Amino acid sequence: MRLAKLTSGGAVATAEMNRMVSEKVDAAFEAQYAAAKSMLTGKAAQIPSQTLTLYRQKMRANRRRLGAAKPLILSRPRRSKKRPLI
């Protein structure tokens, strides 16, 4: 979904690329904050599950946002399998 926007080029692709980078940086900071908080409160064992939960939420939000736009992608016709001439 995101790749379709990036391949279209232009201002839409630039905006999507900027948003993608900022989302990744924000998610990394949120994960780092949650990990530090867990370590300081003695709950270091929860860090992996909290990190995965955070990233899953971010990915789900992106799928919803990008799926709502329904980019126009023309499907290529399927090629028939060529049979060897024997």
Q: What are phi and psi of 70, to 5 degrees?
A: 50, 75
Q: Which residue has the higher pLDDT, 25 or 1?
A: 25
On the question of pLDDT at 10 being above 90, the answer is: no
CA dihedral 22, 7, 72, 55 (to 10 degrees): -30
On the question of pLDDT at 20 being above 80, the answer is: yes
State pTM to two decimals: 0.60
On the question of pLDDT at 56 being above 60, the answer is: yes
63 vs 1: CA distance, rounded Å: 8
